[in-house]
Amino acid sequence: LFSGTGPVVVLLTVLQWAGRGLPSPVRPICDPRVLDRFIMEARDTETALRGCKAGCGVTGTFVVPLTNVDFVVWETKDTEEQALEVQSGMSLFGQALGAVRESVSRVAVQILIDNNKSNIHSLGQVLRSLHIQHKEVKQSRVSSLSELLHVHTNFLRGKVRLLLTNAPACQQNST
Amino acid sequence: MTNDNLNKLLVFCVLFCAQKTSIVHGAQALETKVALLLHAEPENPKCFAEGMSDLTCFWEEDEERTGSADQYSFIYTYQNENSSECSITALPAAGGKRLYFCRLSQTQLFVPLDIRVFRDDLLIHNRSLFIELVFLLDPPANLTLTSTGTQGQLKASWLPPSLKYMGDSMMYEVSYAMAGSHIGKVEEVQASSELILRGLQSGTKYKVRIRVKLDGISYSGYWSAWTDPVLMETMPGDLDPLIVSLSLIISLVLTLLSLLVLMSHRRFLLKKIWPIIPTPESKFQVFIYIFCEWLGHSTGGLWLRPAYFYSEEFPAPLEVLSEVSLGPALPSSALPPKASEALGEEDEDEKLKRVDSALEGWRETPQEHWPMDQLRAIHQHPAPWTQSSLLESHDAYVTLNAQNHSGEELLDDILEETLPLQVLFASGRTSSESRSDLGSFQQSSGLGRLSSQSSFEYPNHTWPPKGPGYTYMAVADSGVSMDYSPMSSSKIDDIGKGVIYTNEYKNEIPAHRRPIGTPIPFAF
């Protein structure tokens, strides 16, 4: 399972990327507490914006990945296929949150959206540290911000976590 | 029957028994979980997941509403998928109620699941849930208690539920209490299979139990049932330094309190342990006061203040022995009784009695002139002393004799306790060495040797008569101090004419009462 430096390394990596680009992380980031923090912040954002009037002023549809996990089916997939699902899903969420950020006017909503976008970028770094590649996968569409955030949370809790928990790079570090 | 058939039969029986045991065990576990959810989950249907791919939903119907399972339909729909139907099973429950179950063997997590229950095409229950959020696990297995080697500690270890992907998401609640006590403590631990219990009492048996639940980040659910309690005794401990120090402090405080109580009641305790020996001092004081009053009335010019009698100047080598007891032979008066202290040979009680009796006799006579009358009587009738005479023979009457010595020698000599007593009424004579007569006091023109005599040496109660010309003094010894009073000369007729020597007292004496003549230092 996860072991390693922790959120500090992730944060430093993100800051370095924000300033200079997207350098490759040195070591695999396998600490489960990293993803747990992302999941909790996504859930908090979903809860905070659930009662937003008129959808917080967000209109249109957004493409999102599917979140359902059948363990029996999931275990039949190899790690690469699993990683592709996760990586592409995170990419879709990044695009959708970017479009949402441009259409909201309330500062409080903007802060929450920015935080989730930052977490998605950080998670991308974690996936890259585990040598997970990007590929097109099955998609879905949502038509509201709350739906988008809800799917986002479910995706993190499910496929992303499963992938990181059983990432080969993290399994090699623990043995 | 052949051996092969027997073997097959044996295997079948074992499997059947094992399955039956498992079925029985499973039934008991299901019954426990149903009871838990009936208490913990308000919504219907109540659903729980036991593993990664199952979901069990049930609801309860009252007796009047119960029907066959065919009357009900369970429809479930995953998000973005088509609806499916689950087969329903009915089981009897307590109180005539019935439980209807639906169990799914293949599930999808992290996606909303809509559930609808119909009874005769009538929607009775509707619920949407995430299966990964309704886990109800079996209790941890193999709970074991071991000693850590440290006092007041126990180590609890267990086997976590064998669920893939969920080991790091499990949290445990460990409950421990002293055996026989219902008050215990609870500690939580996450993603671990052991816990060290600290702060336990030494040499005490503890019971420990544990339950499990998912932590709620990715997976969540309900607390499992408690395991069966496990008992173990902690290591016997040494004396706790805190307990020892507290015991010492308490002992010190109790000791101080006891001392305070004793000190506050010390007078009472001293009275009980060492009672005060009564002394006749009070009676002597009365006697002396009366005597002073008498002197004041009779002589007038003499010092008659009770304070006059208290002198602390010279230690007396001879003690005044007796008081005067008034006899019937002298009807006019008797010498005033004198408070005295025997030379250690008389009983104090007898002396007090004689004082009282003498006092009574004295009161009966006129107070003013009786000492002079007594002296006149003595002069006129110098009869030998008898028992009925003025002074009883066993009384000691001490007088002071002034002798012609230098002052310094006088003091040295007189301080000896073996000064002989002289005859009381011998006049003009120098001090004799006799010890057999009443002490007498001789007139002297200057400093003189002082000596004393005792009447103890005249067992026949005879006193050799003394000639006139003596000067006598009353001495009162209360046992605390010596009280002296110069008396008039034996030459009664010469009273007022002769020189009366008086001693020097430290007590303050009024000037108008100071007697005539030069003071003579008395020394014993």
Residues 6+ apart with CB under 8 A from A66: A138, A139, A140, B80, B111
* Residues in chain B closer than 8 A to A36 (CB atoms): 217-218
Q: Is B53 in Cβ contact with A165 (below 8 Å)?
A: no
The CA–CA distances, whole Å, from B318 to A111, B145, B338, B351, B430 equal 119, 96, 16, 18, 19
Range with lowest mean pLDDT among B178-187, B248-257, B287-296 = B287-296
Residue-averaged pLDDT of chain B: 70
- Residue in B53, B111, B168 closest to A68 by CB: B111
* Residues in chain A closer than 8 A to B108 (CB atoms): 68-70
Q: Is B165 in Cβ contact with A36 (below 8 Å)?
A: no
- B165 touching A (Cβ < 8 Å): yes
Sign of CA dihedral B21, B25, B31, B34: negative
- pLDDT score at B414: 44
* Residues in chain A closer than 8 A to B107 (CB atoms): 70
- pLDDT score at A52: 83
Distance CA B245, CA A148 (A): 66
Average of per-residue pLDDT across B114-124: 94
The 10s digit of each residue's pLDDT in B68-83 is: 888 999 999 998 889 9
CB atoms within 10 A of CB B301: 13
Nearest CA in chain A to B169: A32
Of the ranges A68-82, B230-244, B380-394, B413-427, which is most confident?
Answer: A68-82
Nearest CA in chain A to B215: A36
Write down the ipTM of this complex: 0.70
pLDDT above 90 for B257: yes
Grouping H, G, I as helix, E, B as strand and the rest as coil, residue B62 is coil
pLDDT above 60 for A6: yes
Q: Is A161 in Cβ contact with B218 (below 8 Å)?
A: yes
- B79 touching A (Cβ < 8 Å): yes
- pLDDT score at A138: 65
Q: Is B110 in Cβ contact with A67 (below 8 Å)?
A: yes
The answer to whether the CB of A126 falls within 8 A of the CB of A5 is: no
Q: Is A1 in Cβ contact with B165 (below 8 Å)?
A: no
Residues written for chain A: 175
- pLDDT score at B190: 93
Distance CA B152, CA B204 (A): 9
- pLDDT score at B136: 96
- B168 touching A (Cβ < 8 Å): yes
Distance CA B519, CA B500 (A): 9
* Residues in chain A closer than 8 A to B130 (CB atoms): 154
Nearest-Cα distance to chain A for B107, in Å, is 6
The CA–CA distances, whole Å, from B114 to A151, B47, B60, B72, B131 equal 16, 12, 19, 17, 11
* Residues in chain B closer than 8 A to A157 (CB atoms): 110, 132, 217-218
pLDDT above 80 for A16: no
pTM over 0.90, yes/no: no
- B216 touching A (Cβ < 8 Å): no
Range with lowest mean pLDDT among A128-137, B367-376, B449-458 = B449-458
Q: Looking at this protein, which amino acid is placed at residue B254?
A: L
Q: How many cross-chain Cβ pairs, A to B, lie less than 8 Å apart?
A: 56
The percent of residues in chain B predicted with pLDDT above 70, rounded, is 53
Q: Is A1 in Cβ contact with B78 (below 8 Å)?
A: no
* Band of pLDDT at residue B485, cut at 50, 70 and 90: low
A34: tokens are 């990293």
- pLDDT score at B78: 93
- B220 touching A (Cβ < 8 Å): no
Residues 6+ apart with CB under 8 A from B168: A1, A2, A32, A165, B191
**For residue B358, which of B325, B394, B391 has the smallest C-alpha distance?**
B325
* Band of pLDDT at residue B300, cut at 50, 70 and 90: low
pLDDT above 50 for B364: no
Q: What is the DSSP letter of A160?
A: I
Residues of A at the B interface, defined by Cβ within 8 angstroms: 1-2, 32, 36, 39-40, 66-72, 140, 154-155, 157-159, 161-162, 165-166
Phi-psi region of B44 (alpha: psi -120 to 50; beta: other; left: phi over 0): beta
* Residues in chain A closer than 8 A to B80 (CB atoms): 66, 68, 140
Q: Is A71 in Cβ contact with B53 (below 8 Å)?
A: yes
* Residues in chain A closer than 8 A to B132 (CB atoms): 157-158
* Band of pLDDT at residue B293, cut at 50, 70 and 90: confident
- pLDDT score at A135: 54
Q: Is A40 in Cβ contact with B79 (below 8 Å)?
A: no
- Residue in B53, B110, B165 closest to A68 by CB: B110
* Band of pLDDT at residue B399, cut at 50, 70 and 90: very low
* Band of pLDDT at residue B226, cut at 50, 70 and 90: very high
Which contiguous run of DSSP H or E holds residue B194? strand B194-197
The CA–CA distances, whole Å, from B284 to B324, B355, B478, B481 equal 13, 8, 6, 11
Nearest-Cα distance to chain A for B175, in Å, is 27
